[in-house]
Amino acid sequence: MLSKLTPVFKISAGIMLILVIVGMIWPDWLEQLTTDVQAFIADTFGWYYLIVVTFFVIVCLVFLVTPLGKIRLGKPGEKPEFKRPTWIAMLFSAGMGIGLVFWGAAEPISHYAVSSPTLETGTEQAIKDAMRFTFFHWGIHAWAIYGIVALVLAYFNFRHDKKGLISATLHPIFGKSMDGNFGRLIDVLAVIATVIGVATTLGFGAVQINGGLSFLFDMPTNFWMQLIIIGIVTVLFMISAWTGLGKGIRILSNTNMILAVLLFGLMFIVGPTLFILNIFTNSIGTYVQNLPAMSFRIAPLDEELREWINGWTVFYWAWWIAWSPFVGIFIARVSKGRTIREFVLTVLILPSIIGFLWFSTFGGTAISLEHNGVDIISELATEEALFGVFSNFPLGMVASIVAMILIGTFFITSADSGTFVLGMMTTGGSHQPGQRIKLVWGALLSATALALLYTGGLQALENTMIVAALPFSIIMLLMTISFIKAIFQEGKELGIGEIETNKKLKKDD
């Protein structure tokens, strides 16, 4: 087993190991370094992140209308493997899970009361702006980032029988050099972005479980508590990874969805239901209305706003990009057999609307509590905001405990599928990566999350992610160009575009 290790595995595991060790030995130095690099990247490349992400959105939308959208992510005539509701549920639990629970109440309340996207806190206008920007960060841009990676991977893997590797998707523009060292470099960069993306999200999960324990049971909030939490969850997901992708992960995924729906339903009913529905409807309007302006909003003349954009918009774009190889591989896997148009419509629009409902419910409730002077949620730490909201309602204790279990199960499923995806990426695209390789990645994921929490807590997690996303964003751009090139070629061969004049083409393809 060990003798067959690929160079991609050795190099990327080596780099992550060094990062973890440096973080343990010189935490202050590493923190300073990531802070500086992050500030440099966000300041200097903020415009680039905004343009690149909006470009992905536009590419996705184009495939919604062009006749090329009829091409199938699979062989002609192939049927989708999963039913639509299952498919959407899987998109959701993979794509955002922990993030939704972590930020559900925390982000809107922060925009409203702490640091506003329009520098106006506490007013009625601030409520609308808070919701509009939350929708923006969790809306179609996020799903376009996931969608584009998944689309490109699925197209090359299932339609053209290429390996399920990031480097394999670049064949149309770089040719054979993708099988050599250049291709390996691409895969290593993708693996590192994935490890940091997954590890960061695990870090958020651990901090939030800690926040819940501290809010409910007065336990301390510190690194050692988080060490214990990550330790316990690591043992659990290692067992799950060891026993294989089959039963364990499916049971947990279903549990996740049931718990999330329960939590959402409870908050929706005990919370200010009508206000939630009104804020949901109104924010959809302001979101759609302001989409182009928000997409390119970099505030060149206003220091304070610029800071806000770096801390939120650029951070989210980097988060989604760092997460995207992981989520993209997963989404590609479950979308086999769909047409491109169907894929884009379902991956972009439906999860966005579900996310909007989620944020209207948790964020709307938090804001309504604070605006009506019932409770001051914004004084709590970010990771405690959700529990603060629950404490104002009947069944609050039950909801808080359910939320903590939910984060725990999301943590396990994310880490488990993370080890699988990393195993796949580092064994030449194998759909059955070896157990030991998966365990090494599992250990490295948890160790990275711990090392980052140790060096500088949540802030270190956010900083590292912005750094790790930059190289992968360039790979994503190349993937998109490669995809466009290949699909236009295929379109020409199939005679798509002339479809209306000569009806040679069958409906399926």
Partner 1 sequence: MLKKAKPAFSISVGIMLVLVLLGIILPEGLESVTETIQVFISDKFGWYYLILVTLFTIICLVFFNHTIRKNQIGRS
* Least distance between partner 1 and beta carbon 280 (Å): 7
Residue whose structure tokens are 């214990």: 228
For 473-489, what is the HEC assignment?
A: HHHHHHHHHHHHHHHHH
The set of residues, in sequence order, having a beta carbon less than 8 Å from that of 320 and lying 6+ positions away, is: 53, 141, 142, 145, 146
Which residue number, 303 or 500, has a Cβ lying nearer to partner 1? 500
Which residue number, 277 or 350, has a Cβ lying nearer to partner 1? 277
Measured distance CA(437)–CA(418) in Å, rounded = 12
User: What x/- string results for residues 217 through 256 when contact with partner 1 is judged by CB under 8 A?
Assistant: ----------------------------------------
Residue 238 tokens read as 């290692």
* Least distance between partner 1 and beta carbon 341 (Å): 11
Residue 274 within binding range of partner 1, rule CB under 8 A: yes
Interface residue with partner 1 among 49, 280, 323, 454 (CB under 8 A) is 280
Residue 395 within binding range of partner 1, rule CB under 8 A: no
DSSP three-state, residue 162: coil
Residue 289 within binding range of partner 1, rule CB under 8 A: no
Q: Smallest Cα–Cα separation from 101: which of 128, 126, 62, 138?
A: 138
Interface residue with partner 1 among 277, 381, 402, 405 (CB under 8 A) is 277
Residue 278 within binding range of partner 1, rule CB under 8 A: yes
Quick check: 442 and 237 in contact, CB under 8 A? yes
**Residues within window 292-331 making contact with partner 1, judged by CB under 8 A:** none
Q: Smallest Cα–Cα separation from 468: which of 198, 223, 208, 230?
A: 198
User: What x/- string results for residues 31 through 70 when contact with partner 1 is judged by CB under 8 A?
Assistant: ----------------------------------x-----
> Taking contact as CB under 8 A, which single stretch among the options 18-26, 40-48, 128-136, 270-278 is the one that binds partner 1?
270-278
How many Cα atoms are found within 13 Å in the side-chain-facing hemisphere of 258? 7
Measured distance CA(108)–CA(278) in Å, rounded = 15
Q: State the CB neighbour count (10 A cutoff) for residue 115.
A: 15
Name the strand (E) or helix (H) holding 260.
Answer: helix 247-270
Residue 281 within binding range of partner 1, rule CB under 8 A: yes
Q: Smallest Cα–Cα separation from 192: which of 437, 21, 416, 9?
A: 9
Which residue number, 145 or 347, has a Cβ lying nearer to partner 1? 347
> Taking contact as CB under 8 A, which single stretch among the options 55-63, 152-160, 184-192, 271-279 is the one that binds partner 1?
271-279
* Least distance between partner 1 and beta carbon 123 (Å): 22
Q: Which residues bind partner 1 (CB under 8 A)?
A: 65, 274, 277-278, 280-281, 284
